[in-house]
Structure 1
Amino acid sequence: MNAIILYTKRQGQATSYEFNVFDNQFATENLAVRKVLMSMLESVRDRLTDLEVEYNDSMLAEKLGAKRAGETLRFLGATRENSKEHLSNGIVVSRSFQAPMTPERYAYFYELTDIAQLSHYRLKEGDEDRIVFYFTRYLQLIAPDEQASQSFLQKLAEFSLPYKLVPIS
């Protein structure tokens, strides 16, 4: 297996690790991609407090089926009270919500068989993003310190997932 490419960038004390889906040429349900997400999750597991999800109703229903899409959104914490509509020319193009991270919700993301099941999500520590998946473009870890960075890289090694770090400015 070729090494996956991770673009790195320092952000103050934090380090961003970006897995660009196009550059790595893996399907979002590929085991290597899932292992990247699992490694990211494990490296900041104890810090995650909240999640934010943005989705398009019809795309999610097409991917999961209408019933399962609704069940998934409710499970992740979507309610009428915390959902926001995002409009373009008066038409709802997507919805988003924020909810607390729970052990069950963490397990949902850890066990995802396709990291693109949801179009856009952010797993947060308070107001700070820790893991971001953005519309099948990239999966990003913002490791807040050296310990989280080392944990992430160690987990990749434990998964026997070769990687190449490419610094960007």
Structure 2
Amino acid sequence: MNAITLYTRKQGEATSFEFNVFDNQFATENLAVRKVLMAMLESVRHTLTVLEIEYNDSMLVEKVGAKKAGELLRFLGATKENSQEHRSNDIVVSRSFRTALTDERYDYFYNLTDIAQLSHYRLKAGDEDRIVFYFTRYLQLIAPDQQSHDTFLNKLESFSLPYKLVPIK
């Protein structure tokens, strides 16, 4: 297996690791991609408290079916009270919601078989992004400290997933 490329950037004490889906040329349901997400989750699990999700109704229904889409959104914490519509020319293009990240919701992300099942999600420590998946473009980890940084890279190694770090200024 070729090494995956991770773009890195220092952000104060934090380090951003970005897995660009196009550059790595893996499908979002590929085991290597899933392992990247799993390693990210494990490296910051102790800090995660908030989940934000943005989705397009028709794209989600196409991926999982209408009934399962509704069940999934309810499971992940979507309610009428916490959901927002995002419009363009009076047409709803997406919806989003923010909720607490419970253990069950963490497990959902850890066990995802396709990291792009949802279009855009953020797992946060309060208001600080820790893991961001953005519309099949990239998956990003913002490791807040050296311990999270090291845990992420050690987890990739334990998954036998070779990687190459490319610093970005």
Q: TM-score range by the shorter chain?
A: over 0.9
1:115 Cα shift? 0.1
Q: Is residue 132 of structure 1 aligned with residue 127 of structure 2? A: no
1:151 Cα shift? 0.2
Q: C-alpha distance in 2, partners of 1:42/1:61? A: 29
Q: Is residue 6 of structure 1 aligned with residue 6 of structure 2? A: yes
Q: C-alpha distance in 2, partners of 1:62/1:27? A: 17
Aligned to 1:27: 27
For 1:130, give the aligned amino acid. Answer: R
Q: C-alpha distance in 1, partners of 2:13/2:126? A: 17
How many residues are aligned here? 169
Q: Is residue 143 of structure 1 aligned with residue 143 of structure 2? A: yes
After TM superposition, the structure 1 = structure 2 runs for residues 45-64 of structure 1, keeping only pairs within 5 Å, are 45-64=45-64
The RMSD of aligned alpha carbons is 0.3
Q: Is residue 103 of structure 1 aligned with residue 103 of structure 2? A: yes
Q: TM-score, normalised by structure 2?
A: 1.00
After TM superposition, the structure 1 = structure 2 runs for residues 55-94 of structure 1, keeping only pairs within 5 Å, are 55-94=55-94
Provide the secondary structure at the position in 2 that maps to 1:117: coil
For 1:12, give the aligned amino acid. Answer: G
Q: C-alpha distance in 1, partners of 2:140/2:40? A: 8
Provide the secondary structure at the position in 1 that maps to 2:35: helix
Q: Is residue 119 of structure 1 aligned with residue 112 of structure 2? A: no
Q: C-alpha distance in 1, partners of 2:108/2:68? A: 14
1:107 Cα shift? 0.2
1:92 Cα shift? 0.3
Q: C-alpha distance in 1, partners of 2:129/2:71? A: 25
Q: C-alpha distance in 1, partners of 2:145/2:48? A: 14
1:47 Cα shift? 0.4
1:93 Cα shift? 0.1
Aligned to 1:166: 166
Q: C-alpha distance in 2, partners of 1:159/1:94? A: 35
Q: C-alpha distance in 2, partners of 1:45/1:124? A: 10
Q: C-alpha distance in 2, partners of 1:126/1:151? A: 21
Q: C-alpha distance in 2, partners of 1:92/1:160? A: 43
Q: TM-score, normalised by structure 1?
A: 1.00
For 1:158, give the aligned amino acid. Answer: S
Deviations 1:99-157 (A, max 9, x none): 00000000000000000000000000000000000000000000000000000000000
- Which structure 1 segments of 5+ residues have no match? none
- Which structure 2 segments of 5+ residues have no match? none
